[in-house]
Amino acid sequence: MQGSVKHPGIPELKKESYLKRLGRNIQQYPSLYLLFIPILLYFLVFKYGPMFGAVIAFEKYRPARGIFGSQWIGLKNFRDFLTGPYAQRTIVNTLMLNFWQILIGFPAPILLAILLNEVSQKRYRKFVQTASYLPYFISLVVVCGIIKDFTASDGLFSDILASFGFPRENLLTDGRYYRAIYVASSLWQSCGWGSILYIATLTNADPQLYEAATIDGAGRFRCIWHITIPALLPVIIVQLIMRIGNIMSYGADRTLLLYSPAVYDKADIISSFVYRYGLQDLNFSYASAVDLFNSVINLILLYSANRIADKLTGESLW
């Protein structure tokens, strides 16, 4: 065993406990910890507090009897979902919708940020940035209402298709087009806003690297490949990990506003399924079991994505 080496004249450092360090930091930065209190209360009240209610997933919950008085049925709700007729449909739809969202929607803000970074005219760049940010500030309800009007049988898109000889139809009631409409509308609304983080990251890139690469004869594409993308890589990895960890829960609000029974076979995802059974049919226990199953899968995906990213790139959340 190797002992600690003591040097004469140098005092030995004692390992300070976490509570002592915390107390010293609170005394040193009281205003920062005061700002942290509302955030802490938010997570305690709205995130950790409701976790106790997850116990109803293992009960035949009746509101009149309460959590402690309802009948305990164990894993029956989970078995009913996994062996029922809707488990495969909702899981496949959730994965497919998020697969296209990640494949198309995730790299789009990165590409936009890189293109804007290459624009030398500041006025044009600011105009494009502002124009791409604006859709994000439009209410999702308004956006989905516009999409429904445009995709109706007498809407704008149907008029365009009819001019090319296609029959008029309500595009949102056709499962063949639902996912494309969903992904396109999400991309239009969130692409510009999602690029802000990457644009801010590129402002910290060392301009001397670009100058040195240009002197060495590198063109724009080589500068992007060897300087811009490596500068963005840590942020890209973290954002991708968080996105993968949210696969099973992403897209509930837009789905609820766009889908209809006619396209359940392509549009019904786990989050919308939980909403219908929990809030419309008042089957709280069954919906809680499905949502808890969903959360466990998200946790597994998040942990797996973090481990894989850490091994491949050295970048991770923890």
Per-residue pLDDT at 199? 92
| pTM for the whole structure | 0.81
Per-residue pLDDT at 5? 46
* Residue spans of alpha helices (H) in the chain: 18-28, 30-43, 66-69, 76-82, 87-100, 107-118, 122-133, 140-151, 156-163, 175-202, 207-215, 220-223, 229-244, 252-258, 264-267, 270-275, 284-313
Q: What is the spatial distance between Cα 212 and Cα 84, in angstroms, rounded to a whole number?
A: 62
**What are the tens digits of pLDDT across the range 138-167?**
999 999 999 999 999 888 888 888 888 888
Q: How many residues does the chain have?
A: 318
Per-residue pLDDT at 286? 92
Q: What is the spatial distance between Cα 208 and Cα 214, in angstroms, rounded to a whole number?
A: 10
**Which pair of tokens denotes residue 266?**
């392509």
Which residues of the chain fall below pLDDT 50?
Answer: 1-6, 10, 13
Burial class for 151, CB neighbours closer than 10 Å (0-12, 13-18, 19+):
buried
**What are the tens digits of pLDDT across the range 41-76?**
999 998 888 888 889 999 999 888 888 888 999 999
Domains and CATH numbers, the chain: 2-72 (no CATH), 86-313 (1.10.3720.10)
Query: Do the beta carbons of residue 73 and residue 60 sit within 8 Å?
Result: yes
Burial class for 100, CB neighbours closer than 10 Å (0-12, 13-18, 19+):
middle
Per-residue pLDDT at 67? 86
**Alpha carbon distances (Å) from 160 to 145, 154, 172, 187:** 19, 10, 16, 21
| Nearest of 33, 30, 53 to residue 41 by alpha carbon | 33
Per-residue pLDDT at 2? 44
**Alpha carbon distances (Å) from 250 to 256, 264, 269, 270, 302:** 12, 17, 9, 10, 13
